[in-house]
Structure formats: structure tokens, C-alpha cells
Structure 1
């Protein structure tokens, strides 16, 4: 057995989006790999079943079974635009179903299998036309300038391919869900009209506040009917049997996501007995959409870093774990009384399970992975902070340590194999200790902990990072002269911030960084949301740029050129300020890279990101101490 190297990035295969067939006998899923020669990410549809080797079905993603299991719908690009395809499971080639000018979205089958609904882009796209904005939400990370495009609900006839658009307006419709009778669809959107729109302006002000409601639209289209009230910020809805389940926030978006049920015209919160965030799944955030197992409700929650699949029995107000512990679940489906899910474990970046039985083996078979050990640390104010120490167990005595800080700040590290941050394993093999911490604001420790840094970035959480370092130095694990810090997004912010608060680090590597909260609040696609609900006006006081004159630490800045969440100007400001002060600094920009390029960007960029971190640490922590 050997240790992992960065070249293993091109050997990793990661499953996602599992979909169990209606008979409960097999699981279709998307398998993602990296093509070194083409410098591209490859998505394919595979099928796994108990007692059989997984087999490839087609190139594409987002598999969805027809109600009778005879056909598998999936997305595949046609001339660079995603279109729905139909694969007959009895044999034969896939049929292209849609010819959507701007592309289709994931298929949502009607109960009778005669139609497919999806949420997809709508509007007229002229890349050379002037971009006129009357609202703040005129751009989105990953998509860039929206140029008036919105997401709307479409329905396509399976037999003929005839497509029609059901919704229109200055709003973005979320993925739809069919009613049990198949006579209407529900979706989440902010369609609330402004009380007094200015002449010539769009009739909504949703860009100035966080809102969302569930709406219903019939198959003939028309004005959607609002189903939920202003007391709920709804983010998604699903018909599960006869039940209409809604995910959202109570009144403001600063706390946990909760589940609600819409019944008899009233929205009632579903009591789970858990002080935990419901995870419905998003890029960079694990979890899955809720499902029904018989009459019991299944959904995902985060707990102490892990993401668990839990079961809420019918009539109960106390949820219980369903899958084995030690996993990060990132996809669930239910059919015929059976449950399929995908999860990362300490030994794999992701595997497919059916009723707990592992159907795949995608972990590199010839690689021995280091396992992280959970630790509890105490912050200066007595707050308990959990962390995970990745280290070669055969090492003894103090050595170099890298502190890695997650994003969000409401994300969380888990002690499972991380196929994104490969440098963790590479550094551990080179004698490093890698410390990942879940400071206050991290998910999985209750809502009070989740909201404990609101309006106090850098002020409330600095001790959550420095105290664990002190403990590991005192224990003889970390060499105080060979410490470094890195992080991405909020972790990039905190990397910059910590370099203004202490000189104990020998190298700092902010990725997707934030250096000036004032300019970010006006340039990020989520700037106003962050300003009002996360930062709460404490912009100058909590900006690293305010204290940049204190920085002396060699700094490597890694940033996506097309990042609209933490715009590249944040990296430019930090780079210019350090260079002016003659601090050793390097700025690396990744062309075309959005905020999530380290997850889904070009393989060469993801490789380079990992490699540069290792090289910078070698140069400024190891070689400079020789």
C-alpha cells in the first residue's frame, strides 16, 4: 500500500445523486471523474445492484426514473447546452427529448409518466448587449451576469416532445414538484410585488430582502397561486405522497433550516426533537431532499461534522438515525420500501448504499489513507470547539502543523476522506499535522452555536482557532515555529484576519478570500444578504484590510477569476496592500473559475490549487527553517 499523491485526483471517481428504481432492485447514479488529457470533468450515469458489478449506462447526469421504471431520464449536453434524454431500460439508444434554447433542468416525472417538468433558464440571451441592472440580483456565482435571464417552470410531453412554459416573471422558480393527481405543480420563488414600484422599474423588491414562498401553478400556466405566508421564508417544496413538505426559515434566514407541512391552508413546523440544521443538499453542502419511507419522513441533518440520514416515525416528534454513523450523506432516494444513499466515509470519497449494503467500491484500492481523530478544545471564554487532527500515528514529537479553516462560515469539517483537499493526506504523509476545526458558527452543534458569530466575524471566533493551537503546542504535537494557516471563502477571510492578529504563522494561504467587507457587500452576488443578516453592519471593524499594516507573514492568495461570491477584487486588494508593504506575497488567479472551482472547476486548476499549497508550505515553513 502506498500513500495518496496529488496525481490521484485523476483517479478518483465520485458517485452522487442516487436514484433507486421503482421496484427497489437497482440504483442509478451520477459518477464524476477527471480527464487529464481533456482537462475536463466527466459525468456518466451508472447502475449498481446487489450482487452485481456496477455498469455504465450513458454519458450524462441527474438520472430520474419514470414511474413504471421502463425509462431513465437524464441530462446531457447537446451542442454545449444541457438537454433531457430518455433511455429505454429494455435496450436501445437514448432519445433526445428537449430542444430548450437555453437548456433544460433535471427531470421531474408526472405521476402517470406522460409528462416531465423541470426548472430551466428563460429569456433572450445576447452576450454582446449592454447589461442593464435595476436590481442587485443581476448576477450569480457560477452563472455570471444574468442579462435578464430567469429560471422558470416548463412541462414537456414525453410522447411528442412538445414543450410549454408555465411561469413567467421577474423571479426565479425552484425545482417543481407534481401534485399526487398530476394536475398542478408547486415550486419555491419570491414573486411578492413591491408595494409601490417606481415607474419603469420591475415590480418586485426581492433583491433588498430575503423572501420566498411556495406557489402552485396549473398545467395551463397563468398567475401562480401563493400557498405560504410571510412568516416563512420557503426555499423548496415536495409532494411526498399526499403530504406537501416545505423547507425554509422562520421569519429570518440567520438560523437553521427547518421542515414544515402545508395542510388545510396552514403551514405547521414539523417537530423533530433535534436542535440540528436540516440539510437538503447543495454544491459544497451535503444532504438530500426529504423522502417518505412508508408513512415515516426521512431527511438529513448535520451533527458534529457528519451529515446523517434520520427517520421521523409517523405521529412522532422525535427523529432517530437511519444510516450507520461515521458518514457524510449526500443523496437519498426511496422506492418499494427500500432506501438508497450516497455517503463519504473515513475510507472513501463516496459510495452507493442500498438499505445499508455498500454496492460500490470507489476508494483507491492501493492507497492507505490517514484517519483523522476527533478532539475537543476549549476557547478562552469556555466554549467547547470540536476539531479533527490528521497525523501519521507513527510520528512522535512536535512537527509542522497546518490549520485549515472551512467556509460558510456555516459549513463544517467531518473526519471522512476529502477528495477536494487532497493536500491534507499529502502533508500528513510528509510529516505534517493537519488541524481542521469547527468554530462557533459551524453547523452541527445546535442553533445557538450556529448563530454565535453573527455580526462578530473575527471578534467572536479568533480564540476558537488560537486556543487549539496552544493546546497542541503544549502537548508536543505542533512545533510553534512551524505553524501555517489556510482556508477557503470564510476560511480565506479568517486566514487574512488571523495574519493581522498574530505573527505565530510562518505561512498564510487564503483561498477565495475576503479582505474588505465594505467593498464585498457591494460587489458580491450575496453582498446585501451577508451585510444585513451575517455581518450586521460591522464592516470596517471586522475587515482584515483595516489592520493590514500588522501583517508580516508570507502570503499565497488563490482565487477564481470569475468568482462572484467573493469577487476577485478582494484578492487584488489584499495582494496590493501586502505588496505595498513589501510582505512576501503571490496572487494566483484561475481563469474562468467561479467560487466553487475547487469543487467543480477544471481538473488542472484543482490540481494546481492543491500543489501550490504544498509548495508554499515547503518554501516558507520547512525550507526557510533549515
Structure 2
């Protein structure tokens, strides 16, 4: 492992936003069939520093060799997957040297990078592009996902209609069902279909002087409709069957999901599991091809929170059964062991996300990793004794590690993961990470991470920032490039990252405490853990702020209307008027399961606008479909017209509105992220630190 470099005179990448946005970012991990190669994706800034590009890097599972770069293009690579022979498939919109002159924006094609180190080449293409690459483990069968227009009878018609829409600048969509958009993108008119092909010898081994052969991509879901929209499809090891979560529209604009099987040869689709009381998803097929592990999420009601469970069903049918029925945690992701007798599962747990072993027959759960960290993208070696994963925490971004599964199971105790040589060193931090916990009004334990700047002491206490996570079903347990506390720590703030009621990793009852009552236990938990943190002498209880995004933004709005203890509040992509929010969010049916009209009104922050006396920075993107821009617009107007700090006769106010016309629920482009942090820093400096005159922190000049 490349250890973090010690700070030099307090200079770290978090003291310089340009240095911060230039830090490499790892995501995803794939292990070759023979267990000798690991591949991860690494994001870096492009030359203009206005976008990130992604390249594939190889990591040595043995930890002996440094990481090496495999791909390089201005269009990025994604969806890496190994074939049984060890070749690497990936999707990229990089130029195809054998293609005709491109007509318009390039789309992602399927590329093959041979295991012997030969040059990558295109092996599959559709006019709509491809993604979601999957490969059967025991057969040269490939699955990709690609969009298809509903009126197109074949690939030629699909490409022709899509080109006509683009050439004539027609973007209109005629919908007949719900939903019509999702998170940050509009849905339709095309919908995703599953395409399957065989990597034949002529595709895998081209002959000089002859045109490179291409995969014959065949649509095995011609009647998909909206069934595969935002769903997962995987191949069985023998490549003969696709197992997928499948969405179906039901009455009153509701969407439900089942598990289905699709015969690759015939396209025949059959329902494997349908549950009237739950939605089903995330199927993973066992190596012996006999079992499917999947997620069962119970349907919530206004009185009952959902429960996420791990279930298994035989591929040839039969009665499904739950694994870990006595395990009071929500499984996050899972992978089968080679024996098909157990799975490795990650789950939020007390501010971490360890790796657990779950037996298929008994459902017994054993924790494998002892790290104070969160793991993802777990890959299992062919012998099942070792696993590989990306490890992250609020002390380090994602980096590859090796896990000794056999040692943990044989020794009966969790083991630490071993770092592997990463594509980039871990950044030095401008402070230290500690834990804070307290007891809530109802006796529940509430805990938080606390990032403390270097030099904070009783003689020089740090100003305090409460940062509330989104979700709300989530946990502050993994590094976030978007919501990174160390940028504020570098400015001298101590940042508290609490997990209040509704957070995951503390059991079902902890979620239930806040269900349908967002303004109750979640709020009192936040205030209780804030009180506990501010008992420390190295924190300044007189200079405090609060902020959050999404549900965290909702909570920031609620805090603003219920206490004046903070000098400033930042609210990003926040819910403000819950009666308005419910019918306009991208998944209104889910909201209606959770809130009655009476509950929404009871918990709506907008009712308390007259009690807000704290300066607020409102941030919202116009392309946000999860929390539509109407929430930010209404919040801004009502702050100016009705809060305890209204605008003056000339319309000026201590409140501020940072508006991004072309960003979504998150602020993703590099320079906009930089503006976001600069603006937040300037707003906090003004109101929390009282910075004026020569000490004032200016808002970004680029804002005009």
C-alpha cells in the first residue's frame, strides 16, 4: 500500500481546490477468471480541467507489481468484464479506426483488449451505444444492454428513426406510463433491451488482411417495453439464461419489480419469483448455476419502514428462502463463493460496511473484516480462500485490498484487509478522524464521525460544522468525493458526520424510529449528538453551522425553523414543501407509500419559515429530478418574503441562492464542484467566522 504522505506545513490537496479536483478516483473492480489480474477504473481530469475521463488500470492481486495503465482515450472506458479466456471487454466511445466518418456524437461500442497484450479493437456496435457488459463465466457468451425505440422493427429502423429525431431536433416524448424521468435524466422514447452474442474464434483471433469480425448482437428481449429500465440483467455461468429484475407498471402509476429468466436461445421469458409484498432485484447466479441470490425489499407503508433482505431461490424454481433471518442488517451487495455454498456480503454496520460470510444452507452470518472501513466491489479468487475489494472510509478514498477469507473463517475472528499497490497514492489529510456518541431522548445510541483539524485545542478551539447525510436511508461510512468534509477541515472547521434515526447499519428499529416522522427523532438525534460533540474543549460552541444535501438539506431546513443555535445553514437540493414535493419527484409512488398527506404536512419545513432567523445558503440544480427545482425556488422566495431575516426594501437579504442551470441532484462537473465549495466556504466564513475587511473570503470571481 502507498501510505498517505505526511502534511508539509499543513499543505494537503484539501487546502487547494484545484489540487483536490485533480486527485485520481477509483471505482469498480474485476478479477480475471484465473485470479491473476485485477482491473479497476480510474477517473482523472481532462486537459481542460472541465471533465473527468476514465481509464482502466491493472492491479496485481499478489501485491508484488505496481499498478499499470491498460487504456487511454479522451472518451473514457467503462463496464470492464473478462471473458473465460482472459480477454478484457469494455465499453468506450473512443474512435473506431475501421469505422466510416462519424455522424454526430460518438456512442459507446464494445471493445476487446486481448489477454496477450495486443491492441484493443471494436468487436460490437449498435447505433444507440452499448453498456452494462456481462460475460458468462463458463461460456464465451456476452450480454450488453442497449436502448431500442419502441416503433423500430429492426436495427436499421432503430438507427434511422434515432437519426431523424436528432437531425430534426425533435426531443419530444409521448408517454403512456409512469415514471417519465429518473434522478438526472429523462426517460424515453427508447428503452433498454438485453442483447446477447457469442465471442467466436474469428472475433477473438482476427486474421491479417481480412476485416475484423464483429459480434452478432441479438435482442433477447424484443418485447422489453419498460421492463429493464433501471434494472439488472446477468448471465448464468453456461450462458444459456439471462436472469433479470423486471419492472412492471401496475395501477395508479405504481411500479413493481419481479425476477425473471430469459432463455437465450428462444427469448422466452418466465417469472422466477414474484412477491405481492416486496420488490425484488440485484440477482446474482451461483457458480454451479443452480441458485439465484437476490434482494427482497418489503413495500413500505406510512407506518412501517421497508426491510431489505437477502433471499435465494433455485434457478429451476421452487420455494425461495431468506438468508440471515436473524441478522439485523441490510445487505448491500453480494458475490458467491466458488463452491456455491456461501456468499460474501457487504452491509452497513455501525458507521462501517464490513464484508460478511453468509452460508447458503443455514443462513449463518460471520463477519470477515475488522477494518473501520466500508468495502465494495468484492471479487473472489478461484479457490475461494481469498477475496479482493475496494476499501474506503473517511480516512481514505477507495483503494484495492486483499482479504484472507480462509483465515477469518478458520480463525473465527475478523481480519484486517491487506492493501495492494494502487494506481495512485492516498492523499494526506489535514486532520484526524474520531468518533462521538451519545444517548438520545428515547435511550437509543446515536453515533457520528468527527473530523478534527490539526491544531484544534482548548486554547484554540475549532469552529463547528454539523453535516447531515442524505438518503435518508444511508450512513456516513464511506469516502465521498462530492460531500467531502476534509475540504472544510482544511479551512479550520471540525466537521461532525452523524447517523441519526433513519440511518442504516444500526438495525431495523433504528430506521423505524424516524419513519414517516422526519421532524421528530432524526432532528432530536442530531441535536443530541451535536450537544455531545460540543462538550469537547477543542470545539467552539459559539461558532457553529449546519448543512446537508437532499434529505440532509431537508433536515437543514427543519433545523433552521426549529433552532437559532447555528450562525449559518447551507441547504443543497433540499425538500421544502412536502405536499408539493410528493407528486413532482421522479418516483412519486414510493413517496406515497411513506407519507400520508397529514404526515407530509406535519413534517414540512415550509410551515416554519417565519421562525427562520439564521442566514441560509440555498443551492439547487435545475436538472434535479429527484428533488425538483420547484423546491429550491419556493424556498428561496419564502426566505426572502416571510422568514425572520426577510429581504430589505431593495430586495437584498443575508440569504443566498447558488443556482446551477445545468447540474442535477449532485454538482458533478469539476469546475462547478469547485465553485460549490468556494461559495460554501465564503458563506460560512462570513457568518460563522465573522470574516470582514482584509479577512473576508470572497465569493468566486467566476460567478461574475
Hey, what does 1:522 align to over in structure 2? Answer: 583
Matching of residue 408 in structure 1 with residue 471 in structure 2: yes
**Segment drifting more, 396-405 vs 73-82:** 73-82
Contact 2:554–2:605 (CA<8 Å) still a contact in 1? yes
Q: Are 1:247 and 2:298 an aligned pair?
A: no
What is the TM-score when the length of structure 2 is the normalising length? 0.80
**What residue is the counterpart of 2:100 in the other structure?**
none
Tell me what 1:143 maps to.
Answer: 185
Equivalent residue, structure 2, for 1:10: 21
Is structure 2 residue 132 aligned with structure 1 residue 106? yes
Point out where structure 1 has 5 or more consecutive residues left out of the alignment: 192-203, 281-288
- Aligned with 2:482: secondary structure? coil
- Partner in structure 2 of residue 286 of structure 1: none
Summarize deviations over 1:33-65 as a string: whole Å, max 9, x none: 233624111111000112111111114122111
Query: In the TM superposition, what are the counterparts of 1:179-198 in structure 2 within 5 Å?
Result: 179-191=236-248
Q: Distance in 1 between matches of 2:252 and 2:185?
A: 17
The count of residues paired between Structure 1 and Structure 2 equals 599
Q: Secondary structure at the match of 2:434?
A: strand
**Aligned counterpart, 2:381:** 335
Q: Choose from 371, 385, 396 the match for 1:325.
A: 371
Q: Any idea what the Cα deviations from partners look like across 1:61-98, whole Å, max 9, x if unmatched?
A: 221110121x1011112544222211112122212122
C-alpha distance 189-38 of structure 1, shift in aligned 2 (>3 A): same
Structure with max Cα Rg: 2
Correspondence 1:609 to 2:676: yes
Q: Choose from 151, 156, 172 the match for 2:227.
A: 172
Bigger shift: residues 526-535 or 301-310: 526-535
The match for 1:117 among 143, 151, 155 is 143
Q: Greater share of strand residues, 1 or 2? A: 1
Matched, 1:48 2:59: yes
TM-score w.r.t. length of structure 1: 0.90
Output the CA distance in 1 between the equivalents of 2:533 and 2:293: 46
Q: Is the 8 A contact 2:33 2:137 kept in 1?
A: no
Q: Structure 1 residues 465 and 577 mapped into 2: Cα distance closer, same or farther (>3 Å)? A: same
1:150 shift after superposition: 1.9
Partner residue, 1:75: 91
- Spell out, residue by residue over 1:349-395, the C-alpha distance to the aligned partner (whole angstroms, 9 max, x if none): 01112334322346656734422211111222322211111113632
1:7 is paired with a residue whose SS is: helix
- The residue that corresponds to 2:206 in the other structure is none
Q: Following TM superposition, by how much is the alpha carbon of 1:467 offset from its aligned partner in structure 2, in angstroms? A: 1.9
Aligned partner (choices 558, 573, 585) of residue 634 of structure 2? 573
SS at match of 2:576: coil
Match of residue 323 from structure 2: 270
Give per-residue Cα distances to partners, 1:10-38, cap 9 Å, x unaligned.
Answer: 33212221111111112011112233624
SS where residue 304 of structure 1 aligns? Answer: coil
Q: How far does residue 517 in structure 1 lie from its aligned partner after superposition? A: 1.1
Using a 3 Å threshold, how does the CA distance of structure 1 residues 258 and 110 change in structure 2: closer, same or farther?
same
2:545 alignment counterpart: 484
2-structure distance, mates of 1:163, 1:612: 48
- Measured after TM superposition, the shift of residue 501 of structure 1 is 0.6
* Structure 1 counterpart SS, 2:376: strand
CA separation of 1:501/1:23 partners in 2, compared to 1, >3 Å: closer, same or farther? same
Moved more, 353-362 or 269-278: 353-362
Superposition pairs of residues 110-509 of structure 1, within 5 angstroms: 110-123=136-149, 125=162, 126=165, 128-144=170-186, 146-158=187-199, 159=203, 160-167=214-221, 168-173=223-228, 174-191=231-248, 204-205=249-250, 208-231=253-276, 232-241=278-287, 242-252=290-300, 254-263=305-314, 264-271=317-324, 273-280=326-333, 289-294=334-339, 295-313=341-359, 315-337=361-383, 338-355=386-403, 356-361=417-422, 364=425, 367-392=428-453, 394-397=455-458, 398-414=461-477, 417-422=479-484, 424-509=485-570
For structure 2, the residue ranges without an aligned partner over 5 or more in a row are 1-6, 95-104, 151-161, 204-213, 404-416, 648-652, 696-704
Question: Match of 2:687?
Answer: 620
Distance 1:309 1:155, change over 3 A: same
Query: How many Å separate the matches in 1 of 2:546 and 2:271?
Result: 48
Q: Let me know the Cα RMSD of the aligned residues.
A: 2.4
For 2:80 and 2:395, the matched residues in 1 are separated by 26
CA distance in 2 between counterparts of 1:534 and 1:352 reads 41
Residue aligning to 2:98 = none
CA distance in 2, matches of 1:392, 1:521: 40
Q: Is the 8 A contact 2:146 2:195 kept in 1?
A: yes
* Cα offset, 1:489, TM superposition: 0.5
Measure the CA separation in 2 of the matches of 1:462 and 1:329.
Answer: 29
Whole-angstrom CA distance in 2 between matches of 1:259 and 1:431: 43
